[in-house]
Amino acid sequence: MTDAEQHEAPRPARLVLVGPQGSGKGTQAERIAERFRIAAISTGDVFRQNIKDETDLGRQVKSIIDAGDLVSDALTFEVVRDRLTQPDAATGFLLDGFPRNLGQLGLLDTYLDEREAPLTAVLELGVPRAVSMDRLMRRAFEQGRTDDTEEAIANRLSIYERETAPILEVYRDHGLVDSIDGVGSLDEVTERIFSALAARGIVPAAV
């Protein structure tokens, strides 16, 4: 084995993080992004930033939300695509909250294929429904979120199971999915994620 083969460059971290509400995705996304020095792209955060900056996309999104309507898959993708073109996403990214359904998956895959920069892993952060419910109810109580009733939380989890979970089957068929046990301490879950990525040759680049 040559010295070059012994020191192969790590695979790029182009990642999607999938999991139900209450799975701890937000915290783990921050940790992954920090370790790999990549952009953590949360759909909700990108929406809010565009609205705050009063961009053309932000104004479109705001008018839809203000009217009480759902932002279409096409417009959601436009916002995400704009974010992916920014410099900090050039060497890698972590998508949290996108794609949310099969339609968005198709839009993302087409875009990445055109750039010849496909995803390198999809992380499924799994927790039992009862654990998600308990975490979300506790958080609602601690934050005084009276609109987060047990019924409302159960409905959001049902939407995830119906609309988002099916994307995992598509990615699983492509050999991209690593299922991570999301039950345990933050550090334990983080270590499971890093170990799964390392097994794929996705490790932080040397400084």
Please tell me which residue in 25, 83, 135, 192 is annotated as part of the active site: 25
- This prediction has a pTM of 0.89
Q: For the chain, give percent helix, strand, coil, nearest 5.
A: 55, 10, 30
Spatial distance between the Cα atoms of 9 and 202, rounded to a whole number of angstroms: 9
Spatial distance between the Cα atoms of 163 and 159, rounded to a whole number of angstroms: 6
pLDDT, residue 8, reads 64
pLDDT, residue 165, reads 94
pLDDT, residue 115, reads 94
Please tell me which residue in 11, 31, 35, 139 is annotated as part of the active site: 139
The question of whether 25 is a catalytic residue gets the answer: yes
pLDDT, residue 7, reads 53
The question of whether 129 is a catalytic residue gets the answer: no
The question of whether 156 is a catalytic residue gets the answer: yes
Please tell me which residue in 52, 145, 162, 172 is annotated as part of the active site: 145
Spatial distance between the Cα atoms of 126 and 142, rounded to a whole number of angstroms: 23
Please tell me which residue in 11, 35, 100, 200 is annotated as part of the active site: 100
pLDDT, residue 194, reads 97
Spatial distance between the Cα atoms of 18 and 53, rounded to a whole number of angstroms: 28
Superfamily (CATH H level) for 9-40+91-198: P-loop containing nucleotide triphosphate hydrolases (3.40.50.300)
The question of whether 62 is a catalytic residue gets the answer: no
Sequence ranges of the domains in the chain: 9-40+91-198
pLDDT, residue 1, reads 38
Summarize pLDDT for 105-160 with one digit per residue, the tens: 999 999 999 999 999 999 999 999 999 999 999 988 898 888 788 898 899 899 99
> 202 near 10, Cβ under 8 Å?
yes
The question of whether 172 is a catalytic residue gets the answer: no
Name the stretches of the chain with pLDDT < 70: 1-8, 206-207
pLDDT, residue 160, reads 93
